[in-house]
Amino acid sequence: MIYTITLNPSIDYVVQVDQLNLGELNKMENEMMFPGGKGINVSRVLHELAYDTTALGFLGGVTGDFIAGELNNKGIRTAFTPIKGDTRINIKLKSGSETEINGRGPEIPPYEADDLLHQLEHVTGQDMVILSGSTPPSLTDDFHQQMIERTVESGAQFIIDTTGDSLKSVLPYRPLLVKPNKDELAELFGVTLSDQDDVIYYGKQLLDLGAQHAIVSMAGEGALLFTEEGIYQGQAPRRQVKNSVGAGDSMIAGFSGKFTETADVMEAFRMGLAAGSATAFADDLAKAGDIFPLQDKIDITRIAK
């Protein structure tokens, strides 16, 4: 089983306005609501690819009920920890360019946080845990570390997709995969990355600090995979990018699903690139029919030892 953890899920409320006039009454042309959150996105794509997944995290209030209902209607298994606070709403205002207004997230008292930690005691060595996204401000700074300690004690592999100190603090626990983008890698080490050689140097540092594998995504330049055996550059076919939201989550879903199936990191990288690219080329998270045909069109080249 692949468990995803979304600590701060949301309803993504997408509003389309032809022309936004600040300080005046505006009428929307279209509106949509989706279950939001990086771990939830990973579970949605895993389910689309027919891999067993269960979505974990915190949900509360009518907003939490909406998210649980939408996922259950899609046939996605969930085991969210109920909380008294209301799950947040993130507003995506589309009017020419897109403006985002993200909620902070609910207050989560220690006893509710402990409920989620106890769930990880049931994870086994046959499972994988994926931790993605931001943390509600009410949780302690070491909450990621507490979750990973429980996961590692169970013998399960874990993947983490977060940034900054939260990422750096868990590298010694040997994550199967970390996936910063180029900007996040620069921020993590407090540097400016001028060229690919800089990306390679600091990508290697992720392995030196404990990661088993690392993928650094570089938008139109593809992605770099760092392994103990070598460094590989992967590139998908160039097409019009329609949607950057969820592309990284889709990459993690493709990688984790294929790795649990084959234990082959190169095939996992290929599937990850196909899934991430398919979402970038689509209006929403990619469907299986978009992902599978891309696998054979992914170009992977070894560029360094």
The neighbour count for residue 168, using CB atoms within 10 Å, is 16
Contact between 55 and 80 (Cβ < 8 Å)? yes
CA distance 158 to 176: 6
Sequence-distant (6+) residues with CB within 8 A of 194 are: none
- Can you read off the two tokens belonging to residue 96? 């020419």
Q: How far is CA 94 from CA 13, 14, 277, in A?
A: 11, 7, 22
Q: Respond yes or no: is residue 18 known to be catalytic.
A: no
Q: Annotated catalytic residue: which of 52, 142, 249, 296?
A: 249
CA distance 39 to 256: 12
Q: What three-state secondary structure class fits 4?
A: strand
Q: At what angle do helices 38-48 and 247-262 cross, to 10 degrees?
A: 50
Partners of residue 232 on adjacent β-strands: 225, 302
Q: At what angle do helices 143-154 and 110-119 cross, to 10 degrees?
A: 20
The neighbour count for residue 19, using CB atoms within 10 Å, is 8
Strand positions, DSSP E, 200-292: 214-217, 223-226, 231-235
- For residue 166, give the nearest of 137, 126, 191 by alpha carbon: 137
Contact between 300 and 270 (Cβ < 8 Å)? yes
Q: What three-state secondary structure class fits 143?
A: helix
What are the catalytic residues? 249
